[in-house]
Structure 1
Amino acid sequence: MARRPSAFSALIAIDKPAGCTSHDVVSRVRRAVGEKRVGHAGTLDPAATGVLVVGIGQATKLLGLLTLDRKGYRATFQLGAETTTDDAEGEITRTAEVAAELLDPARAAAAVAALVGEHDQVPPSFSAVSVNGRRAYDAARAGEALELKARRVCIYGAELKRVDPEACTWELDLDVSKGTYVRSIARDLGRDLGCLAHVCALERTFAGPVTLADCVSLSELEAGGAELVRERCLDPVAVLGLPARELSLDEIADVSNGRRIDAAGVAHGTRVALTLGGGLAGIWRCDGRHLVCETNFPQAIEGVR
């Protein structure tokens, strides 16, 4: 049976609340807009909040194309204890004394600044990393230990915002590469400092070009439905980071049928976003003097500005 056309297609940024999974967000968006085809890019842990990019309708095809290579976080590290999950959701496994010098803002700021650079990072035991087809969190819940290999990640920026001596916490801003686990940063930093640590609060402040300012809350979305999505949807071309090329009326039929069109000065190998009347119609690539189809969207993705 053919899938019925979507009512509309768009990307929307949700400010995910704490206490729900990324899949829970998808389910609530489905109900709010009356569309079954909904997905998300860049999973957030249930306890985390902040930027979650959601695709609706044809825009679900974009989710695998979004690079979102850099992500930003406002994190609070709890010093003095490690947990099974490397955050406050897990059980405490070890504790350690927190030296008074680590609660000095100057000393803490220096330790945070030293995080900048490339690192070999082992993901948390409770993570979505797959080993031989099995998710690490499934094995961890079963009491089994999977050998997780270190991955090369980059911390582009790290800045201390606040030290709370009474709570023994550090609040910091992080700018990291795709695939970096903030929980692992806290775990490894705590071990290096000899005080142990875990994440007790986490907010994603940006994902690629999408920031908290672009987000709507789930309650706003549930109140406004599809109309709100149309008002607040993301520009898909801007999120993709591709140059845009508006189609002429003469090119529409050829593009709809996947026939190549004139490149009109586009450099060889360059990928471009073909737009039409405020919608993203396709992603094409320059091959010599012509543009050839990589992906077409039978129903244009709304929001091109």
Structure 2
Amino acid sequence: MNGIVPLWKPVGMTSHDCVVRLRRIFATKKVGHTGTLDPEVQGVLPICIGEATKIVPYLTDTSKTYLAEVTLGYATDTEDQTGKVIEQTPVNKGAITETVIERVLLNFLGQIEQVTPLYSAVKVNGKRLYQYARENQPVERPIRQVRVDDITYIEHSLSFKSDRAVFQFQATVSKGTYIRTLSVDIGKALGYPAHMSQLIRTGTADFTKKQTYTLEQLEQLKDSARLTECLYPIQSGLSHLPVYQVNEKLVSRVLNGQKLSQPDDWNSDRAYRVEHKGKLLAIYQSHPTKAGEIKPLRVFNSER
């Protein structure tokens, strides 16, 4: 079996845990996830099966949509609800309104800079940041450019409890964007220490919650020999790539991984999915050293 399973990852499991479970369900080692979700986060996690594992880097590189809850009033060392409190400031109810939040969120649209969270797997000098944190060692965290394509306040989500305020926002962001860091920065812009108190991934590329399957549903499909029903075609994970249609004469050359002449309208900065009559054959890019040629990055044996 080859294809993509849009899994609804439950709270309490790592992305790797889900891969292990699907290896058993599909009886194959060729399983890969398309973007790590922390154990405390639930949501859309496309899992690639068989030949689809060849597109993991391309599907991982797509935009993601999240529903996040922000708590104003205190910050944590992990920037989310799992960490230790490191700063507290009582919230002035009169200063935080829905209008104020909506106005502040607009400032985060487009290209923004983020300081990589201390509790993350990003490496600095060969060592992961969370290791520096656990060993209480100082380290200069990288600053990254990320992109926020859309960010919206969830209407009527603002509430107050004791000296804290809680609200929700939805955001569609580029690969590498930390929503917990975004939540902290939004809090700072509102004038308060903050942390991300809940997170749900509601979309990855073109996959949404409506298309997902739970682990329990996958087990049921396996028991009734209907697992193929949950598999989306490989090209559904490549909808963000432009398409190059080849004629019948070129199909065998593509499937044999041969170089081709570069079409006149080819964008040398992009990878293309190469298809013939709706069938995905390969992914090609401009040849790095031979002008006027394109070369394969991935060839899909399932289409032979």
Smaller-chain TM-score range? 0.7 to 0.9
2:298 is matched with: 295
The counterpart of 2:86, out of the listed 93, 103, 114, is: 93
Cα RMSD (Å): 2.9
Distance 1:137 1:229, change over 3 A: farther
Asked whether the equivalents of residues 103 and 165 of structure 1 are also in contact (C-alpha less than 8 Å), the reply is no
TM-score scaled by length of structure 2:
0.84
Paired residue secondary structure (1:111): helix
Q: Provide the C-alpha distance between the structure 1 equivalents of 2:146 and 2:273, rounded to a whole number of angstroms.
A: 30
1:5 is matched with: none
2:116 is matched with: 123
Cα displacement (A) at 1:275:
4.4
Structure 1 residue 233 corresponds to structure 2 residue 226: no
2:158 is matched with: 163
Structure 1 residue 20 corresponds to structure 2 residue 13: yes
Paired residue secondary structure (1:63): helix
Paired residue secondary structure (2:301): strand
Q: Deviations over 1:71-122 (max 9, x none)?
A: 2111000111111111011121221111112442222222223332332210
2:215 is matched with: 218
2:281 is matched with: 281
1:188 is matched with: 185
Structure 1 residue 258 corresponds to structure 2 residue 257: yes
Distance 1:131 1:265, change over 3 A: closer
Asked whether the equivalents of residues 2 and 234 of structure 2 are also in contact (C-alpha less than 8 Å), the reply is no
Q: Provide the C-alpha distance between the structure 1 equivalents of 2:294 and 2:192, rounded to a whole number of angstroms.
A: 57
Asked whether the equivalents of residues 243 and 275 of structure 2 are also in contact (C-alpha less than 8 Å), the reply is no
Distance 1:247 1:214, change over 3 A: farther
TM-score scaled by length of structure 1:
0.83
Cα displacement (A) at 1:277:
8.5
Asked whether the equivalents of residues 34 and 60 of structure 2 are also in contact (C-alpha less than 8 Å), the reply is no
Distance 1:211 1:147, change over 3 A: same
Asked whether the equivalents of residues 245 and 274 of structure 1 are also in contact (C-alpha less than 8 Å), the reply is yes
Distance 1:13 1:168, change over 3 A: same
Q: Deviations over 1:127-180 (max 9, x none)?
A: 121112221123223333332121112222221111012362011111222211
The counterpart of 1:47, out of the listed 28, 34, 40, is: 40
The counterpart of 1:151, out of the listed 134, 138, 144, is: 144
Q: Percent identity among equivalent residues?
A: 29
Q: What is the identity, as a one-letter code, of the residue corresponding to 1:121? A: Q
Q: Provide the C-alpha distance between the structure 1 equivalents of 2:109 and 2:273, rounded to a whole number of angstroms.
A: 34
Cα displacement (A) at 1:280:
3.0
Q: How many pairs were matched up?
A: 293
Paired residue secondary structure (2:78): coil
Q: Provide the C-alpha distance between the structure 2 equivalents of 1:45 and 1:213, rounded to a whole number of angstroms.
A: 21
Q: Provide the C-alpha distance between the structure 1 equivalents of 2:297 and 2:111, rounded to a whole number of angstroms.
A: 33
Cα displacement (A) at 1:252:
4.9
Paired residue secondary structure (1:27): helix
Q: Which runs of 5+ in 1 are unaligned?
A: 1-7
Structure 1 residue 75 corresponds to structure 2 residue 78: no
Moved more, 197-206 or 213-222: 213-222
The counterpart of 1:114, out of the listed 107, 118, 130, is: 107
Paired residue secondary structure (1:64): helix
Q: Provide the C-alpha distance between the structure 1 equivalents of 2:177 and 2:264, rounded to a whole number of angstroms.
A: 38
